[in-house]
Chain A
Amino acid sequence: MITLTNVTKKYSSKKALDNVNLELTVGKLIGLVGENGSGKSTTLKLIAGLKHPTKGEVRVNGELVTRRIADSVSYLSELDEYYSFFTVEKTIEFYASQFKDFDLDKAYEILKFMKLDPKSKPKHLSKGNRGRLKIVLSLARNVPVILLDEPFSGLDPMVRNSIVKGLISFIDLEKQLVLITTHEIREVESILDEVVAIKDGSIIGHHNVEDLREEKQIGIVDWMEEIYG
């Protein structure tokens, strides 16, 4: 469970988040949507303990978030950087050495599912396969919270689809909460439990997606058009 209470985050004088309150519960796949610069990545970094709030507090399973929260949070950055001298296999071993909850068997299972060659080097992989590798590394951890920052960005439809299928197959919704930022709404329309919309550092909507369809007969895209006006 993640809670943000009256969270403000300033970068010098600019407010990236402005008095945000948010409660996310376990067992759900949640999408965080909004334009570039709206505060999506900042929200994820605050939950991952990579940034500290200027005001307010962030808690994961009741625990106040510090850098040490990395023990319970798996964070996939939107950046695309690897140690170039490692193979895929070595990269996985390195992650296993860094996180005690890293599940090697699961990593190889996801690797196989994603049809990646363990002997290849990430720098020689296509962009799509590097995207797949990032998913392997984030989902192989047995942690209660998984944060994925723009996992679909710049990837072709085949790769996006394999990532969606990877999420369906390997997330344990009994125990895990997954928060995804994305612009690719169509990709996630059928897999999100909830959607949170953010604009200029404020949360402007938070909804159960099936309720939107049931009560208002609208999907996520229609809803976004409605609230972003």
Chain B
Amino acid sequence: MADMFHSQKPIYQQLADRIKKQIISGELSPGEKLPSIRETGLEVNVNPNTVSRTYRELEMVNIVETKRGQGTFVTEDEGVLRSIREEMKNEIITIFVQEMQEMGYTNDDIQSGLGEFLSKKGENEA
């Protein structure tokens, strides 16, 4: 149950990342209403206080918007949506590149490796 989150990083941040990924993948659409705090808490087994903090943090960076008495909604602001896509992409790439460099791969190794991997993957899927 608690396996959805790891214990070394604040759960409110992990939950915020999860919601951002759902927005990027289209699982949550722009303007869509998020589940209530309690519903989300139940779904992911997290304290409602933590969920409420996640919603507040996402609201502060304009990713969601809380309308009084109606609930919390995904933003429809194109600029914000674009910047979440960029931010998450850069985050994942940074982790990947860091790990490769720690093992001693050069930038050329990384680039050619990634190119080969993607073209092979493309062939298999074609």
| Alpha-carbon distance A190/B9, docked complex (angstroms) | 11
Question: Nearest chain-B residue to A165 (Cβ)?
Answer: B42
Report yes or no: B7 in contact with A210, Cβ–Cβ below 8 A: no
Complex: A187 Cα to B9 Cα, angstroms = 17
A27 and B42 form a contact (CB under 8 A): no
Interface residues of B in 87-122 (CB under 8 A from A): none
Distance between Cα atoms of A27 and B53 in the complex (Å)? 13
CA of A168 to CA of B41 in the docked complex: distance in angstroms?
A: 7
Bound complex: CA A164 to CA B47 (Å): 9
Q: A161-B1, A190-B47, A191-B45 are known contacts. Are A168 and B38 too (CB-CB below 8 A)?
A: yes
Chain A neighbourhood of B6, CB < 8 A: 219
Size range of the chain B interface in the assembly: 20 to 34
Q: Is the CB of A28 within 8 A of B49?
A: yes
User: Do A191 and B47 form a contact, CB below 8 Å, given A164-B1, A168-B42?
Assistant: yes
Which of B4, B12, B45, B48 is close to A210, meaning CB atoms less than 8 Å apart?
Answer: B12
The answer to whether B47 and A193 touch across the interface, beta carbons within 8 angstroms, is yes
B86 to chain A, nearest CB (A): 25
Given A161-B1, A187-B1, answer yes or no on A168-B47 (Cβ-Cβ < 8 Å). yes
* Known A-B contacts A168-B41, A168-B47, A169-B38; A187 and B7 likewise in contact (beta carbons under 8 Å): no
Distance, CA A217 to CA B8, complexed state (A): 5
Interface residues of A (CB under 8 A from B): 27-29, 157, 161, 164-165, 168-169, 173, 186-187, 189-193, 210, 213-214, 217-222
19 further interface pairs, Cβ-Cβ under 8 Å (given A168-B38, A168-B41, A190-B46): A27-B49, A28-B49, A29-B47, A29-B49, A164-B45, A168-B45, A168-B47, A187-B1, A190-B1, A190-B4, A190-B44, A190-B45, A190-B47, A192-B47, A193-B47, A210-B50, A213-B8, A217-B8, A219-B6
| B interface, CB within 8 angstroms of A | 1-2, 4-13, 38, 41-42, 44-50, 53
